[in-house]
Amino acid sequence: MNRTPEKDPEDWTTGDEPMTGPQESYLHTLAQEAGEEVPEGLTKVEASQLIDQLQDKTGRGR
């Protein structure tokens, strides 16, 4: 039994708030490794989705 099931970011009640500091930091690390830029003004949901994409691209975190 998974006690901390992942919730779809689209269902987050705070998903439209600005990304968190840790999200921003990790995004910049992943983006640097992937040779990509991090767009300005991402929401928590957008940051989470971009993190997933960049983790797939870099092979990190999975």
What is the 3-state secondary structure of the chain?
Answer: CCCCCCCCHHHCCCCCCECCHHHHHHHHHHHHHHCCCCCCCCEHHHHHHHHHHHHHHHCCCC
Structural domain boundaries of the chain?
21-58
- Looking at residue 7, what is its pLDDT? 62
**Contact assessment for residue 23 and residue 55, using Cβ atoms and an 8 Å cutoff:** no
- Looking at residue 16, what is its pLDDT? 83
- Looking at residue 10, what is its pLDDT? 64
Give pLDDT < 50 ranges for the chain.
none
